[in-house]
Amino acid sequence: RAAARTAATPARIPPGRSPWGAPQTPSAGPGTGGLVWNSWGPIQNSARLAFGFSSWDIALLVFWGPIGFAPCFFFMWLMDKKGLRVTVLLTSSLMVLGAGLRCVPVSDLEIRKKLIHGGQLLNGLAGPTVMNAAPFLSTTWFSPDERATATAIASLLSYLGAAGAFLVGPLVVPSPNGSSHQLGSGSNTEHIKDRIEAVLYAEFGMVSLIFSAALAYFPSRPPFPPSVAAASQRLSYRRSFCRLLSNFRFLMIALAYAIPLGVFSGWSGVLDLILTPVHVSQVDAGWIGFWSIVGGCVVGIAMARFADFIRGMLKFILLLLLSGATLASTWFTLTCLNSVTHLPLTTATLYTSCILLGIFLNSSVPIFFELFVETVYPVPEGITCGVVTFLSNVFMGVLLFFLTFYHTELSWFNWCLPGSCLLSLLLILCFRESYDRLYLDVVVSV
């Protein structure tokens, strides 16, 4: 609130000027980043045949995402000091290099595999900006009654990209087990490899287009601050970390976000690997992953819009979503153990439980982001969300690290889901919410 006393009331965006146009370029980056990151999980059976990947390779290809968060704190500093334009251009260039590296035509499979792994790592290095920029973008460009919606749209675009990979990969690339509708009798390893390369080239083209658009036009901020919070003084980089690490309430909700979302991200990245033992085809696994993410994005935007209209309800919304996620993940895990539980193991039950789980968890992301920023204001949004997404990727990385060694029996992986959701629910129940940024915008500006 001290910042409120020193900040002058900013000029508003002139009537008729919509802030939704300019931020679309950096908002498209997360979608392509998620698409590139999730390229291999949905087509892991085909990738094994075409490139000689093992289960360890598939897990590692997904693992490069959380490994790429190692320089997360550098990107937080860059966003805080240099603004969005410089950060977005650097991130987009890493994505272009990574996507291009995967397309290098090398006949030696071992070299090709190393290039693909290198490309996934470069794309992973873009992850900190992809995951952290949404609240910074919404505060910089949008008024208080649009912020939650803007955060939801920007933060969920990376999930939509991952959903696109679930859909595009299995439909374009034939499956070696004969489950794809596009697999004809004359299909072979070379045909599968050609289709995978077509997907890689298409993704490289999309990433290059986004980079060109960001280079041509994207300003760091609008000509007029849209709110008091957007124009107010923020804490320095060092003081921000001290404030975050000493704030017990922030650490509670950071863990409540990082544990279930980290586990779920790692789980969904190898969903085809998990569903193969229960005889779910590559195409069906792709559709399950697609609808679980798309449903989460739609519900997440709806929940964020609701939060914009009825303020001060973020904790209540999270309690509802996490309760649903706990029940859905328990249902899915018990269904996969049908030899013990005798629950019906059908395509319908797997679809329903997975999609509900994705809806409840993915839609909680923008609500969590808004609650983080409200709780620790005036800490800059990029630093706040950078810390929590770093924690989320740590948990995802630990889970995938164990998966590289224990990938023959995966029931333990499924049990991590309901356990993490239940722990998050308990943490949110104990959390005392506050709305410092909202107070600044609504009370002080009046």
Mean pLDDT is highest, among 23-27, 64-68, 197-201, 350-354, for 197-201
DSSP state at residue 126: T
Provide the residue range defining the domain that includes 264.
25-218+237-444
Residue 312 neighbours by CB distance under 10 Å: 12
**pLDDT at residue 47 is higher than 60:** yes
The whole-number pLDDT of residue 3 equals 42
User: 206 lies in a domain?
Assistant: yes
User: 312 lies in a domain?
Assistant: yes
**pLDDT at residue 60 is higher than 70:** yes
CATH number of the domain bearing residue 39 = 1.20.1250.20
H helix or E strand, kind and range, residue 118: helix 109-125
**Angle between helix 147-172 and helix 127-141 axes, rounded to 10 deg:** 150
User: 10 lies in a domain?
Assistant: no
What pTM was estimated for this model as a whole?
0.73
Pairwise CA distance, residues 431 & 150, whole Å:
25
Residue with the larger pLDDT of the pair 141 and 208: 208
**pLDDT tens column, 245-259:** 888 999 999 999 999
**pLDDT at residue 185 is higher than 60:** no
User: Under a CB-based contact definition with an 8 Å cutoff, are residues 92 and 85 in contact?
Assistant: no
The mean-pLDDT minimum among 269-273, 371-375, 388-392 falls in 269-273
DSSP string, 27-86: HHHHHHHHHHHTSSGGGHHHHHHHH---HHHHHHHHHHHHHTTTTHHHHHHHHHHH-HHH
Residue with the larger pLDDT of the pair 30 and 417: 417
The whole-number pLDDT of residue 251 equals 93
How many independent structural domains does the chain possess? 1
The whole-number pLDDT of residue 322 equals 95
**pLDDT at residue 122 is higher than 80:** yes
User: 226 lies in a domain?
Assistant: no
State the sign of the Cα–Cα–Cα–Cα dihedral 45, 172, 123, 376: negative
The mean-pLDDT minimum among 13-17, 29-33, 201-205, 268-272 falls in 13-17
**pLDDT tens column, 257-267:** 999 999 998 88
Mean pLDDT is highest, among 31-40, 273-282, 347-356, for 347-356
User: Under a CB-based contact definition with an 8 Å cutoff, are residues 440 and 228 in contact?
Assistant: yes
User: 174 lies in a domain?
Assistant: yes
User: 112 lies in a domain?
Assistant: yes
Q: In the structure, what pLDDT confidence band is assigned to residue 11 with cuts at 50, 70 and 90?
A: very low
User: 100 lies in a domain?
Assistant: yes
Pairwise CA distance, residues 19 & 13, whole Å:
8
Structure tokens at 95: 């994505």
User: 223 lies in a domain?
Assistant: no
Query: Among residues of the chain, what percentage have pLDDT more than 70?
Result: 83
| Residue 98, CA distances (Å) to 117, 212, 228, 419 in order | 9, 16, 39, 35
Q: Rounding to the nearest 10 degrees, give the CA dihedral for residues 61, 65, 69, 74.
A: 100
Structure tokens at 389: 């997404």
The whole-number pLDDT of residue 182 equals 44
Pairwise CA distance, residues 139 & 153, whole Å:
13
Pairwise CA distance, residues 55 & 53, whole Å:
7
The whole-number pLDDT of residue 277 equals 75
**Angle between helix 55-67 and helix 44-51 axes, rounded to 10 deg:** 110
Query: Among residues of the chain, what percentage have pLDDT more than 90?
Result: 20
Pairwise CA distance, residues 120 & 108, whole Å:
19
